[in-house]
């Protein structure tokens, strides 16, 4: 800005503004183009998929309006019905158990034990693995002719049976096992951070009052963890509802369709049966299930933040 322009003249102001804008063009490009592309893809992709779910599209997207026909078709398939039931079985069991195990591990690690860092790394390493790896490894371990059952049989207990993987009533629990192994450590990490941030003065006061460790945990520490518990539950539910890779690698949805999940139904209709209208409808249904968890959670977060702001 060394140029001492005669102030006030219209043309120079415009010219300067223009040159200023031009000079700043690169930064605007770098900032806004990626941001707008990202935001635009989220909006347009969602809207487009929702639109496709109302069209008679099969292999190619076509225009046309079929109302709720795709939705009715999806809802009446056995695959979707099984998948929907499995969300509750798998999601419910997995979320409760992984939160419980995570909390248990966090409390154990909070006892000022030696080797805490090593132990924490052990509980968290599965989170670095892909679900494909986890699913593959557990499909071997739980394969009765190859894994745990065979091992025990070879040891001498020949009648031992552990064949949930091939049992259509129990196969869903193998997914629960693998999913817990993979992500209970995540719950542990969040709970441990929560335990460590409990008000020290409060604990001292309770100790002076003669409260034992069990009482302190039950009355003071665990009640203070419930916001973390809600976060853990919501994130694990979100994972459960969108699970794809893990089931694909572990059971492939089988035996039969016993471990079918919504994400597999979506993939099946979109890319294997070539009925993208129905696939899109299944994807939208999946989104609705997800929103039934997320919307209350966001509302709760909103109320919490308002309360903090007002306090």
Partner 1 sequence: MREASVTPSRVLVYATVWLIAAVYLIPFVVVLLNSLRSAEEIAQTSMIGWPKQWAWSNYANAWGQFCIAQTCSGIKPYMLNSALVTIPATIISTLLGAVAGFAISLWRFRGDRWIFGIIAIGIFLPQQMRLLPWTVVLRDMGLTNTLTGLVMIHCIQGMSFTTLFCRNYYTAIPQELIKAARIDGAGFFRTFWRIILPLSPPILIVTAIWQFTHIWNEFLYGVTFTTGQQQPVTAALIALTAAVADIPQYGVQNAAVIIAALPTLLVYLFGGRYFVRGLTAGSVK
The reply to whether 255 sits near partner 1 by the rule CB under 8 A is: no
Helices 92-109 and 171-196: crossing angle in degrees, nearest 10, is 40
In angstroms, the Cα distances linking 311 to 99, 197, 228, 305 are 30, 20, 20, 10
- Token pair for residue 24? 């700043």
Judged by CB under 8 A, which stretch of 65-73, 88-96, 237-245, 302-310 contacts partner 1?
Answer: 237-245
Q: Which of 2, 111, 158, 159 binds partner 1 (CB under 8 A)?
A: 111
Give the nearer residue to partner 1 in terms of CB position, either 128 or 311. 128
The reply to whether 146 sits near partner 1 by the rule CB under 8 A is: yes
Neighbours of 47 (CB within 10 A): 10
The reply to whether 150 sits near partner 1 by the rule CB under 8 A is: yes
* DSSP letter, residue 65: -
* Cα–Cα distance for residue pair 102/3, rounded to 1 Å: 66
Judged by CB under 8 A, which stretch of 71-79, 81-89, 161-169, 260-268 contacts partner 1?
Answer: 260-268
Q: Which of 193, 202, 205, 299 binds partner 1 (CB under 8 A)?
A: 193
Across 53-76, b (16+ Cβ under 10 Å) vs e yields bbbebeeeeeeeebeebbbebbee
Give the nearer residue to partner 1 in terms of CB position, either 8 or 154. 154
Q: Which of 276, 236, 281 is nearest to 262 (CA)?
A: 281
Give the nearer residue to partner 1 in terms of CB position, either 8 or 64. 64
Between 287 and 306, how does the x/- string for binding to partner 1 read (CB under 8 A)?
x--x---x------------
Q: Which of 66, 73, 97, 148 binds partner 1 (CB under 8 A)?
A: 148
Site residues for partner 1, 20-49, by CB under 8 A, read: 23-24, 26-27, 30-31, 34-39, 41-46, 48-49
- Token pair for residue 191? 């709970």
CB 288 within 8 A of CB 49: no
Least separation in angstroms between CB 10 and partner 1: 26
Site residues for partner 1, 62-101, by CB under 8 A, read: none
Least separation in angstroms between CB 294 and partner 1: 6
Least separation in angstroms between CB 91 and partner 1: 14
Residues 6+ apart with CB under 8 A from 234: 293, 294, 297
For the chain, what is the total number of helices (H) and then of strands (E)? 16, 0
The reply to whether 141 sits near partner 1 by the rule CB under 8 A is: yes
User: To 5 degrees, how large is the angle CA 39–CA 42–CA 47?
Assistant: 130
Q: Residues binding partner 1: what is the number (CB under 8 A)?
A: 89
Give the nearer residue to partner 1 in terms of CB position, either 224 or 231. 231
């Amino acid at each position: 800005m060394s140029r001492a322009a005669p102030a006030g003249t219209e043309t120079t102001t415009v010219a300067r503004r223009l040159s200023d804008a031009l000079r700043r063009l690169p930064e605007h490009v770098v900032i806004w183009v990626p941001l707008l592309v990202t935001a635009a893809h989220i909006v347009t992709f969602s809207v487009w998929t929702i639109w496709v779910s109302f069209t008679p599209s099969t292999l190619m997207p076509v225009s046309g309006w079929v109302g709720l026909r795709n939705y009715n078709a999806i809802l009446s398939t056995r695959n979707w019905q099984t998948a929907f039931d499995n969300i509750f079985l798998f999601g419910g069991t997995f979320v409760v158990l992984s939160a419980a195990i995570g909390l248990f591990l966090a409390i154990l690690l909070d006892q000022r034990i030696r080797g805490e860092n090593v132990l924490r790394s052990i509980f968290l390493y599965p989170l670095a693995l892909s679900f494909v790896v986890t699913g593959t490894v557990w499909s071997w371990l739980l394969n009765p002719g190859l894994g745990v059952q065979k091992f025990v049989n070879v040891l001498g207990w020949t009648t031992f049976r552990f064949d949930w993987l091939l049992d259509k009533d129990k196969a869903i629990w193998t997914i629960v096992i693998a999913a817990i192994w993979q992500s209970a450590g995540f719950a542990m990490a969040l709970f441990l951070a929560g335990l460590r941030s409990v008000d020290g003065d409060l604990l001292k006061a309770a100790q002076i009052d003669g409260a034992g460790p069990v009482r302190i945990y039950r009355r003071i520490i665990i009640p203070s963890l419930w916001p973390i518990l809600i976060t853990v539950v919501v994130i694990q539910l979100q994972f459960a509802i969108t699970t794809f890779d893990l089931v694909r690698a572990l059971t492939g949805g089988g035996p039969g369709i016993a471990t079918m999940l919504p994400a597999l139904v979506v993939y099946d209709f979109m890319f294997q049966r070539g009925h993208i209208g129905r696939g899109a409808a299944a994807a939208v249904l999946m989104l609705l299930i997800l929103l039934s968890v997320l919307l209350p959670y966001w509302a709760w977060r909103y109320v919490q933040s308002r309360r903090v702001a007002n306090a």
